[in-house]
């Protein structure tokens, strides 16, 4: 089981592709790369130098995985007592795409996990700057920018 991070992009935004993400993060630092799967243009590996950070995928409204994940999140949020849940629910309901990363680090190695997170943060910042969406981190919660808006310690 991987550690997942998902960025919810609004329906109102222009559809995003992996090559666009690749161009965006390479503009930040040329050490980044995305190796796009030859059989699925919405799936690939994201790397920093020789280091694979994880698998990256774009899921779009209507895709089975998009529908399943949004339904799962909305079902969990219905049980939350947090007053911020409505903001999160509205953001998920207005999403048209999800950029998902299954992050990879050495099991039990918190320092290695920090390295991966630190190298992925510029991607989330770039998405915030261009798409004004919301990030979810497994076992952590939902973020707007760097601000945790709803803690949620479950994993989907």
Tens of pLDDT, residue by residue over 28-56, are 999 999 999 999 999 999 999 999 999 99
Does residue 138 register a pLDDT over 60? yes
Decide if 138 contacts 4 (C-beta within 8 A). yes
Whether 36 is in a domain gets the answer yes
**Chain centre to alpha carbon of residue 89:** 16
Three-class SS of residue 151? Answer: strand
141: domain range?
A: 3-151
Residue 123 forms part of a structural domain: yes
pLDDT tens column, 65-81 = 999 999 999 999 998 88
Q: Is residue 156 part of a domain?
A: no
Domain count for the chain: 1
**Rounded CA separation 35/12 (Å):** 27
Instruction: Please report whether residue 10 resides in a domain.
Output: yes
Helix 85-93 × helix 64-77 angle, to 10°? 160
Calculate the dihedral angle through the C-alpha atoms of 91, 24, 65, 135, rounding to the nearest 10 degrees. -40
The kind and range of the H/E element at 146 are none
**pLDDT at residue 107, rounded to an integer:** 74
| Averaged confidence pLDDT in the chain | 93
Q: Band of the pLDDT at 106, cuts 50, 70, 90?
A: confident
Position 24 scores a pLDDT of: 97
């Amino acid at each position: 089981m991987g550690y997942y991070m998902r960025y919810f992009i609004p329906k109102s935004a222009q559809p995003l592709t992996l090559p666009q993400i690749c161009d965006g993060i390479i503009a930040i630092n040329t050490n980044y790369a995305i190796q796009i799967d030859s059989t699925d243009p919405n799936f690939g590996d994201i790397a920093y130098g020789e280091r694979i950070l994880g698998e990256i995928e774009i899921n779009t409204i209507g895709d089975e995985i998009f529908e399943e994940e949004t339904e799962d999140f909305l079902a969990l949020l219905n049980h939350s007592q947090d007053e911020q849940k409505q903001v999160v629910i509205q953001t998920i309901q207005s999403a048209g795409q999800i950029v998902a990363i299954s992050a990879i680090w050495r099991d039990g190695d918190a320092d290695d996990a920090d390295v991966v997170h630190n190298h992925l943060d510029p991607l989330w910042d770039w998405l915030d700057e261009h798409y004004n969406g919301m990030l979810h981190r497994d076992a952590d919660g939902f973020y707007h920018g760097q601000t945790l808006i709803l803690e949620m310690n479950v994993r989907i």
